[in-house]
Amino acid sequence: MTFDYDSATGLSSATVHEASGKIGALPSCIKPVAPGLTLSGPAFPVQSPPGDNLFLHHAIYAAPSGAVLVIDCGDAAEFGHWGEVMAVAAQSVGIRGLVIHGGVRDAARMAEIGFPVFASNICIRGTGKDPQGKGQIGGVVTIGDISVHAGDLVIADEDGVMIVPADRAAAVVAESRARDEAEQDYFRRLRAGETTLAIYGLPDIVGK
C-alpha cells in the first residue's frame, strides 16, 4: 500500500520524534526562516558543493511534484544558496518546500509567497555555479547523523525538522495521532487538578 503523505499534515515535529523512538531529528540549527511555517511531505535529497547552487537549480526540475527538497551544502552556512527566484520556480512545479543544511536569503519574501523554508542560516552572500562541482541529485544525503533517502517523510515546524524512514512512516504517523489524542486527555486531567507526577507515574526524587 502506498503511504499517504498528506496523512502527516498537522503533526508536530516533537510528537513525531517521540513516536518514532527518538530518531530522525536533524541538527537544531535548521530552523524556519519565518515564524509559523510548517512543512510535511516526501523527501527529495540533494548534495550540493559548498558555496554553489547549480545542483539546486537542477534539482527543482528533477524533483517530483509534491516533494520536499532536502539539501546538504556541507559546512557552508555563510552563503545564500537559495532565494526568492528559486522559491517561485519551485512553487511553479509543485515543490512543497525546502529543508537545507546551508544558508538562504530573501527570507521575508519567501515567507510572503508562502514557500516554507527551513535553513541553518540566513545569509546574503552569493554563490557560484560550477558545472564541474561535485554533488548529486536524488541520492542519499547525511545531515548531522541522519541519512535522508528519497521518499522519507519530512516533518518540519518551529521546533525543528524530523526525518522518518519511508518504511516506518505509516506506523509513526499512527502512533503520533494516538499521542496527540492522549495529550488532549492529559490537558483535561491537568485542568481538573491532577499533577504531571501522577499522570506520568514519575518516581520520587531520592533523598527529597
Which residue range is the domain that position 40 belongs to? 5-172
Q: Flag whether 46 is in a domain.
A: yes
pLDDT for residue 208: 66
Residue 1 pLDDT exceeds 80:
no
Q: Flag whether 191 is in a domain.
A: no
Which of 7-16, 68-77, 185-194 shows the lowest mean pLDDT across its residues?
A: 68-77
Residue 2 pLDDT exceeds 90:
no
> pLDDT tens digit string along 53-98?
999 999 999 999 999 999 999 877 799 999 999 999 999 999 999 9
Q: Using pLDDT thresholds of 50, 70 and 90, give the confidence band for residue 165.
A: very high
Q: Flag whether 208 is in a domain.
A: no
- The pTM score is 0.92
Q: Flag whether 203 is in a domain.
A: no
Mean pLDDT (whole number) for 156-164: 97
Q: What is the DSSP letter of 166?
A: G
What's the rounded Cα separation, in Å, for the pair 51 and 80?
8
Q: Which amino acid is at 55?
A: F
Mean pLDDT (whole number) for 108-132: 94
Mean pLDDT (whole number) for 183-187: 95
**By three-state DSSP, how is residue 65 classified?**
coil
**Which residue, among 93, 6, 14, 111, has the nearest Cα to 57 in the 3D structure?**
93
pLDDT for residue 91: 98
pLDDT for residue 64: 97
Residue 163 pLDDT exceeds 80:
yes
What's the rounded Cα separation, in Å, for the pair 172 and 188?
25
Are 45 and 73 a contacting pair, CB within 8 Å? no
CATH number of the domain residue 63 falls in: 3.50.30.40
Give the torsion sign (CA, 137, 145, 128, 131).
Answer: negative
Percent of the chain with pLDDT over 90: 91
Q: Flag whether 186 is in a domain.
A: no
Using CB atoms within 10 Å of the CB of residue 150, give its burial: 0 to 12 exposed, 13 to 18 middle, 19+ buried: middle
What's the rounded Cα separation, in Å, for the pair 196 and 165?
32
Residue 159 pLDDT exceeds 80:
yes
Q: What is the DSSP letter of 128?
A: B
Q: Flag whether 179 is in a domain.
A: no
**By three-state DSSP, how is residue 89 classified?**
helix
What's the rounded Cα separation, in Å, for the pair 77 and 194?
46
Q: Flag whether 204 is in a domain.
A: no
- As for how many domains the chain has, the answer is 1
Residue 25 pLDDT exceeds 80:
yes
Give 106-123 as a DSSP string: -HHHHHHTT--EEEEEE-
Residue 37 pLDDT exceeds 70:
yes
pLDDT for residue 177: 97
Kindly list the distances between the CA atom of residue 199 and the CA atoms of 12, 190, 191, 208, in Å, as whole numbers in the listed order: 22, 8, 12, 20
Residue 40 pLDDT exceeds 90:
yes
pLDDT for residue 24: 97
Are 125 and 103 a contacting pair, CB within 8 Å? yes
Mean pLDDT (whole number) for 100-126: 96
Cell of 69: 527538497
Mean pLDDT (whole number) for 116-134: 93
What's the rounded Cα separation, in Å, for the pair 6 and 21?
21
Q: Flag whether 24 is in a domain.
A: yes
Residue 147 pLDDT exceeds 70:
yes
